[in-house]
């Protein structure tokens, strides 16, 4: 069913580009100051990635500030099937204590990452709480996939955890209400630049379309959500998983590549900012606690 | 009222009155009156306060038995502050004083607490119905600059309440009306317009006509050239809710200037110290004690203002079934508007979580584990609220469970449990908390969550619909009973709301396997309708704000209501359909 077997060399390639993407988010987040617009920040991220050798992307960098992190109101999930211009970075200016989300998806030499990073210049208690709680989702998702539950069931379990926490699953505002989407290896053609349309990388989106067609034949979908289309066992390969939680005007997310094999699943990299943050705050469970869970 | 002594301030002699005796360690409280009053306006409040404090009041220059300056400029704020400083130095040389001020007394005391002259001489400040003119000027400017029509209309509304300030700038007008009979009319006017009985004030003519100079010497000057006035002193602002002269919105930006701020409310007109002396004295005393001892009462903790003032700031809301669904959303909706909240649920973890979420919205929140179907637990809840937090302003009786299946299949035990949770809890919640509201003189709201099922017969939900119809009728009757106490009862009738109740409802008379299937089907039906609990929370908030008797949520609720009223025969036919 898998479209390609992933060698350890491939995993290293994906890991490297995921680290590049997170380095980009962390570097630009450090430079962020009140008064900058979403567009300023998105273009800084783009410049950073180009300078670091990115030659294509899944989508060009996005930046959302303030209540735009929570996709409330008209941009909420049922409108336009999730396709709406609210994703594009706008002229919203950053203010002190305003939460922000940076999302970038560079490709380099055929390997693609898609990451989400959130933070604040100043303090935001709601954001802190959301970011703390996001840890539970990272464990929940990989645990259920290991139990070979269907992807729809995993996504529904995420919905239920959101309800328990009192959060809105804001990833439902994404196109097709996806919790995750498939990422494929591209051909490394050595060209320094590839075509983007409407800020989405043509080659990566084409891979997604191919998967959609192939998947329809084989009984799986590259768009992982809570619906019937995802009611199939975990499909081996790479998935960019992006739980996005919202509480009133504050949204928070992380996005990472999940590696699914025929009989196992693991996060591609544990050296990501959110994991470091949970460890620094003493939230990361010890091995015993994890084993007991 | 005769002065106990006089204090000299420059050329003027000020009449000073005292209540109680000074003693070491006993706080000295200074009361400053407004316009067109004299120190006598404080008499009732001062007597109550003198039980525990040494109380000092004085006639402001130009008023009562104090001397009258001979020119308008002598009424500028800096001279008024100098007078206060002289009184404080003379009457409390060894310790800083606690100020309690009303109207113009409060306006001039803002000047005293935000300027250098009295640094170290003031321990706390309780301000009633008298904002700083400088703060007001910034408040107006910020709203006009915002360009928002809503903000501008607030400014227009405040200015329309301040018409007399403009009129007092006219030559002759102010003093003339007082000399032409307004002085005699004043007590009657207060009684008619404000509903308060004030004794005739022998110096009324003087207080009214001379005091006009306060406006003439300060208003235009300050409004046009305001200064940024800040203070780190603890400040308690008491808002008179029905004040005809000052809108509470004027205090919206106050935390920007005053980091240590508490804001409370009294349901009264402008002269609260005449109409509600006990409450004014209690609030002032509570604040003074807090500043002296550092012990903050629950009421004060709730009154602490850090961010902008919100519509529900200072209110206490109790919500049952607050661990999820409509209850949690309602709790958060009130918290978002600034209310302190109590999350009640049978599931302690869920209740605690809801309270924690509310705290993220910068309000005080508590949680209690209660089985609302148990009488003694509801009584214990009410007793805990009364002793720990005081009577609530809003109670939302929301907790409920679902039960589906034919009457003939519903056991006595099922009926019993359903009646206890869905009906008895509402009866008790209404009765216990309404009594608390009446005893505390609160014009609160009892919100009972019924259902559109209350008026939609159906063979699928007979027991549930029966309990909800009873809740609906109970609310209608109780509304009539509590109308004289001005307590509003809201009956909430939501349609198909997508909450956890769909997955936890029981279906009687079916196998376990069938039970799961039916639940899944019901869940699908409800999620397809996708009417969210937030919609109910918004409707409840709206009903409370607008004093509505009823809140129907969802088109189906309106449709069922229409059918039950105008086409009952069709309603009866529909009742026979299999819903799922």
DSSP-assigned states of every residue in A62-117: EEEEGGGGTT-GGGSTTGGGG--GGGS--SPBP-TT-EEEEEEEEEETTEE--EEE
The tokens for B376 are 């003694």
Ramachandran area for residue B443 (φ above 0: left; ψ -120 to 50: alpha; else beta): beta
Ramachandran area for residue A153 (φ above 0: left; ψ -120 to 50: alpha; else beta): alpha
Contact B328 A78 (CB under 8 A): no
Q: Tell me: the pLDDT tens digits for A224-279? A: 999 999 999 999 999 999 999 999 999 999 999 999 999 999 999 999 999 999 99
Using a CB-CB distance cutoff of 8 angstroms, which residues of chain B are in contact with residue A164? 324, 350, 353
Among B238, B234, B231, which residue's Cα sits nearest to residue B289? B234
Distance between CA atoms of residues A8 and B469, nearest Å: 65
**Which residues does B397 contact at the CB level (< 8 Å), separation at least 6?**
B320, B372, B425, B426, B429, B430, B446, B447, B448, B449, B471
Q: Which of A127, A159, A163, A166 to mutate to test the interface with B (most CBs of B within 10 A)?
A: A166
Distance between CA atoms of residues B207 and B35, nearest Å: 7
Distance between CA atoms of residues B91 and B97, nearest Å: 9
Contact B353 A129 (CB under 8 A): no
Using a CB-CB distance cutoff of 8 angstroms, which residues of chain A are in contact with residue B324? 163-164, 166
Contact A248 B361 (CB under 8 A): yes
Distance between CA atoms of residues B317 and B304, nearest Å: 16
Which member of A129, A166, A248 has the closest CB to residue B328?
A: A166
CA-based torsion, B545, B547, B553, B559: positive or negative: negative
| Residue in A closest to B349 by C-alpha | A164
Q: Does B332 touch chain A (CB under 8 A)?
A: yes
Q: How far is C-alpha B75 from the chain's CA centre?
A: 35
Q: How far is A235 from chain B (nearest CA, A)?
A: 26
Q: How far is B87 from chain A (nearest CA, A)?
A: 44
Contact A166 B336 (CB under 8 A): no
Q: How far is B130 from chain A (nearest CA, A)?
A: 32
Is B17 assigned a catalytic role?
A: no
The tokens for B391 are 């009577």
Contact B360 A166 (CB under 8 A): no
Q: How far is B338 from chain A (nearest CA, A)?
A: 14
Q: What is the DSSP secondary structure assignment for residue B15, as one 8-state letter? A: E
Using a CB-CB distance cutoff of 8 angstroms, which residues of chain B are in contact with residue A78? 530
103-132 of A, contacting B, C-beta below 8 A: 125-126, 129
Q: Tell me: the pLDDT tens digits for B84-102? A: 999 999 999 999 999 999 9
Distance between CA atoms of residues B458 and A81, nearest Å: 35
Contact B350 A126 (CB under 8 A): no
Contact B360 A247 (CB under 8 A): yes
Among B174, B234, B238, B233, which residue's Cα sits nearest to residue B206? B174
Residue B195: count other Cβ atoms within 10 Å of its Cβ: 12
Residue that is written with structure tokens 């235009």 in the block: B220
**What is the model's pTM?**
0.80
* Tens digit of pLDDT at every position of chain B (580 positions): 788 899 999 999 999 999 999 998 899 999 999 999 999 999 999 999 999 999 999 999 999 999 999 999 999 999 999 999 999 999 999 999 999 999 999 999 999 999 999 999 999 999 999 999 999 999 888 888 877 888 888 888 888 888 777 777 777 777 888 888 888 888 888 888 888 888 778 898 888 889 889 998 998 888 889 999 999 999 999 999 888 888 888 888 898 899 999 999 888 899 999 999 999 999 999 999 999 999 998 888 888 887 777 889 889 999 999 999 999 999 999 999 999 999 999 999 999 999 999 999 989 999 999 999 999 999 999 999 999 999 999 999 999 999 999 999 999 999 999 999 999 999 999 999 999 999 988 889 999 999 999 999 999 899 999 999 999 999 999 999 999 999 999 999 999 888 877 777 888 888 888 888 888 888 888 877 778 899 999 999 999 999 999 999 999 999 999 999 999 999 999 999 877 6
Q: How far is C-alpha A162 from the chain's CA centre?
A: 17
The 3-state DSSP class for residue B529 equals helix
């Amino acid at each position: 069913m898998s479209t390609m077997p992933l060698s350890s060399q491939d995993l290293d390639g994906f890991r490297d580009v995921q680290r590049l993407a997170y380095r980009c988010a962390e570097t630009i987040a450090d430079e962020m100051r009140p008064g900058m617009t979403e567009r300023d920040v998105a273009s800084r991220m783009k410049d950073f990635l180009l300078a670091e050798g990115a030659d294509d992307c899944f989508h060009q960098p996005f930046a959302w500030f303030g209540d735009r992190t929570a996709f409330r109101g008209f941009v909420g999930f049922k409108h336009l099937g999730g396709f709406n211009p609210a994703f594009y970075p706008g002229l919203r200016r950053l203010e002190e204590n305003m939460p922000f989300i940076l999302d970038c998806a560079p490709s380099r030499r055929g390997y693609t990452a898609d990451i989400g990073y959130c933070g604040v210049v100043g303090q935001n208690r709601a954001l802190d709480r959301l970011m703390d709680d996001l840890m539970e989702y990272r464990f929940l998702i990989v645990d259920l996939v290991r139990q070979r539950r269907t992807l729809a069931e995993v996504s529904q379990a995420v919905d239920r955890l959101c309800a328990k926490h009192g959060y809105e699953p804001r990833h439902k505002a994404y196109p097709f209400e996806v919790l995750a989407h498939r990422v494929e290896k591209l051909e490394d053609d050595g060209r320094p630049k590839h075509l983007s349309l409407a800020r989405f990388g043509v080659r990566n989106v084409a891979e997604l379309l191919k998967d959609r067609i192939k998947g329809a034949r084989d009984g799986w979908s590259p768009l992982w959500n809570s619906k019937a289309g995802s009611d199939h066992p975990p499909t081996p390969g790479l998935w960019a998983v992006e739980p996005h939680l919202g509480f009133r005007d504050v949204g928070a997310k992380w996005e990472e590549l999940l590696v699914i094999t025929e009989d196992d699943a693991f996060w591609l990299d544990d050296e990501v900012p959110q994991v470091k943050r949970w460890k620094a705050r003493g939230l990361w469970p010890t091995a015993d606690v994890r084993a007991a869970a | 009222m005769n002065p106990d002594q006089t204090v000299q301030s420059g050329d003027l002699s000020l009449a000073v009155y005292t209540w109680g005796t000074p003693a070491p360690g006993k706080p000295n409280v200074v009361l400053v009156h407004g316009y067109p009053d004299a120190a006598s306006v404080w008499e009732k409040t001062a007597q109550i306060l003198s039980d525990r404090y040494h109380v000092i009041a004085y006639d402001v220059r130009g008023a009562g038995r104090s001397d009258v300056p001979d020119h308008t400029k002598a009424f500028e704020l800096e001279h008024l502050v100098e007078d206060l400083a002289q009184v404080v130095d003379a009457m409390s040389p060894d310790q800083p004083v606690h100020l309690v001020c009303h109207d113009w007394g409060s306006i001039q005391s803002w000047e005293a607490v935000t300027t250098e002259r009295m640094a170290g001489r003031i321990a706390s400040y309780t301000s009633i119905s008298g904002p700083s003119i400088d703060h007001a000027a910034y408040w107006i400017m910020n709203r006009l600059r915002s360009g928002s029509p809503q903000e501008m209309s607030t400014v227009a509304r405040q200015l329309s309440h301040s018409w007399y300030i403009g009129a007092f700038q006219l030559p002759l007008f102010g003093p003339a009306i007082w000399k032409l009979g307004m002085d005699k009319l004043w007590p009657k006017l207060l009684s008619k317009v404000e509903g308060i009985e004030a004794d005739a004030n022998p110096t009324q003519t003087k207080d009214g006509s001379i005091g006009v100079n306060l406006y003439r010497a300060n208003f235009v000057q300050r409004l046009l050239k305001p200064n940024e006035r800040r203070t780190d002193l603890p400040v308690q602002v008491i808002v008179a809710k029905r004040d005809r002269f000052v809108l509470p919105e004027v205090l919206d930006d106050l935390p920007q200037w005053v980091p240590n701020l508490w804001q409370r409310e009294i349901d009264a007109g402008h002269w609260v110290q005449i109409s509600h002396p006990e409450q004014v004295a209690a609030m002032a005393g509570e604040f003074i004690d807090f500043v002296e001892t550092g012990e903050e009462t629950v009421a004060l903790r709730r009154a602490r203002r850090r961010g902008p003032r919100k519509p529900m700031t200072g209110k206490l809301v109790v919500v049952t079934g607050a661990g999820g669904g409509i209850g949690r959303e309602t709790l958060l909706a009130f918290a978002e508007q600034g209310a302190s909240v109590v999350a009640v649920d049978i599931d302690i973890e869920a209740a605690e979580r809801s309270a924690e979420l509310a705290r993220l919205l910068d309000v005080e929140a508590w949680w209690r584990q209660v089985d609302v179907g148990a009488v003694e637990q509801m009584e214990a809840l009410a007793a805990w609220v009364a002793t720990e937090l005081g009577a609530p302003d809003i109670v939302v009786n929301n907790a409920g469970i679902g039960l589906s299946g034919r009457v003939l299949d519903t056991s006595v035990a099922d009926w019993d449990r359903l009646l206890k949770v869905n009906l008895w809890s509402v009866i008790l919640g209404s009765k216990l908390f309404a009594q608390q509201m009446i005893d505390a003189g609160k014009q609160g709201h009892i919100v009972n969550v019924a259902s559109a099922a209350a008026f939609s017969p159906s063979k699928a939900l007979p027991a549930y619909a029966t309990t909800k119809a009873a809740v609906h009728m109970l609310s209608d009757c109780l509304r009539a009973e509590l109308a004289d106490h001005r307590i509003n009862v809201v009956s909430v009738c939501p349609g198909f709301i997508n909450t956890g109740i769909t997955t936890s409802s029981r279906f009687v008379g079916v196998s376990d396997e069938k039970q799961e299937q039916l639940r899944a089907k019901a869940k699908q039906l409800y999620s397809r309708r996708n009417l969210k609990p937030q919609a109910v929370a918004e409707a409840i908030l709206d009903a409370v704000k607008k004093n509505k008797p009823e809140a129907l949520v969802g088109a189906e609720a309106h449709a069922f209501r229409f059918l039950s009223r105008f086409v009952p025969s069709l309603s009866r036919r529909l009742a026979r359909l299999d819903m799922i």
